[in-house]
Structure 1
């Protein structure tokens, strides 16, 4: 996921934002989900976004880093994305595969660990991409 933060007080913010999106496309990463954030809304004369900005980014989240306006909604959007990109899994690892056990703990949330003589059974949530790599081993 990419947070694309746009400074709405810059006179060329729409053009700059389009250059960013074009660059992402040019380097082949335009398939990455993007949350567009319109920052510094507290510096606008009123809380209405200029039509040019609103029309260019109708799904963007207006925020103010100074006043905190819109931050809870931004956090909720990020959390929603993160929850959608995780999977629940239960997997057993022989203790000799300590690297995989470490990966599970580093990138995931282990909610249960059952230790046996030669292995550990972990249950929890992992990013889907990490879970896939673990399953491939």
Structure 2
């Protein structure tokens, strides 16, 4: 069934008035404090970056209490372990987010050349 009401054509946009145009130009010329703060922050970060030593080493694995426990689990294991197996050894909940966090820690240990990833998602102690 067809509607009996008529559709009105869309109205054209109003032409900008000279007053609004002047206000807009004045707003663009006015300094913005938030941009000034960003410029100050950028300069501060650049100055601090110049002070950092060039060859900083990655943080030690002892910064998180799970790393020694993960290595202990690998010392007791007879074969390769997956992230899920490590979670069970550490008595963590077997939730997807916990397993992914453990997998990230295992990948970090691979980058530190402590573990080796021998297959997809399978890790062993470096010999």
Structure with higher helix content? 2
TM-score (norm 2): 0.21
Query: Max radius of gyration: which structure?
Result: 2
TM-score (norm 1): 0.20
